[in-house]
Amino acid sequence: MPEKVVIIGSGPAGWTAAIYAARANLDPLVFAGRPKQMPALVLPGGQLMLTTEVENYPGFPKGITGPELMAALEQQAVRFATRIQTDDGQNPDVSNPDDGHSYKYHDCKHVDLSSRPFKIIGEDDRVIEAHAVIIATGATANWLGLENEMRLARSGGGVSACAVCDGALPIFRGKELAVVGGGDSAIEEATYLTKFASKVYLIHRRDQLRASKIMAQRAADNPKIEILWNKIVIDVLGDEKISALRLRDTQDKKESELPVGGLFLAIGHTPATAFLDGQLELDSKGYIKLTDPYRTATSIEGVFAAGDVVDSVYRQAITAAGMGCKAAIDAERWLADQGIE
């Protein structure tokens, strides 16, 4: 018997879709994914698993850590009988977020959307059929791939890939910060950080920015931004917290240290769509393209998408959760139209 709906992904979009689908008696099954390392760090629970303090998610006046928020969303989904695919079957004990159960999650290796019901193929080649699919696999920030960079990102030691998410945290206020990148996003991040930092270094590997002229001029005109040309970061220094960056000049190869109180990566994001093998229409940036920007339907009827896997603009937990809600409602209505309830 095919599943009514399978949700692929376990970030804010995936768990919110599961909550709404479960409360609509769709008995959703979630492929939460398995942790993966470089080149892009992928975690069950999404990029919030790398965020120690979340202060901008509504409903938490004192803030909440990213892992705590994702654990709460997961437990709420399971409360309404959401099933989670694991290596051993379904439904791990999620009552204790520290019991290591997340590493038993099962990943989706491939999907076949060429015929109905759709086929979701797990890591062990087990095939699960579904009438509807919600894709909420997110987009991973591109990292430099340095060992201490990732350790400090996971521990809340002053390394981040989202200035809007983390820049206002006390750990960064009044500090000299660094942003790596040379595109419009990097300048947007650096400009945003000037609200809180004493100074922002924009580190770029070339002698001119890739950003649009107006954005490049904005960086040049900001007295708090200093652009370091022809530099790459070869190491992140610091034990509990970041203390400095080791830089290498791309021309003369000389190395130097730059004391900073925070590092922000702005070198792009990679949407998690490789497992689709080109079966869905993507936009020019590789994000899943929606047939209607106000809905969540994709180029294949019965397949819906939500969260950062379709959003290259906002990439916030709250916007992803809102899209997860929309995807579940869209899927419910589509299934009803097909006579599947």
| CA distances for 2 relative to 5, 24, 44, 118, 315, angstroms | 9, 17, 25, 9, 32
CA nearest neighbour of 3 among 42, 29, 38, 40: 29
| CA–CA separation, 71 and 138 (whole Å) | 17
| CA–CA separation, 202 and 6 (whole Å) | 42
State the catalytic residue, choosing from 107, 108, 162, 311: 162
| CA–CA separation, 197 and 202 (whole Å) | 13
- Whether 292 is a known active-site residue: answer no
Ramachandran category for residue 238: left, alpha or beta (phi over 0 → left; psi -120 to 50 → alpha): left
At 101, list the tokens.
Answer: 């159960």
Instruction: Find out whether 190 and 200 touch, Cβ atoms under 8 Å.
Output: yes
State the catalytic residue, choosing from 87, 88, 98, 166: 166
| CA–CA separation, 217 and 222 (whole Å) | 9
Instruction: Find out whether 234 and 246 touch, Cβ atoms under 8 Å.
Output: yes
Instruction: Find out whether 17 and 8 touch, Cβ atoms under 8 Å.
Output: no
| Runs of H (alpha helix) within the chain | 12-23, 66-79, 147-155, 163-166, 184-193, 213-221, 317-337
State the catalytic residue, choosing from 165, 308, 311, 330: 165
Q: Helices 213-221 and 184-193: crossing angle, nearest 10°?
A: 30
- Whether 108 is a known active-site residue: answer no
> Is 132 in a helix, a strand, or coil?
strand
Instruction: Report strand pairing: 108-112 vs 89-90.
Output: unpaired
| CA–CA separation, 287 and 248 (whole Å) | 33
| CA–CA separation, 215 and 212 (whole Å) | 5
Query: Mind telling me the catalytic residues?
Result: 162, 165-166
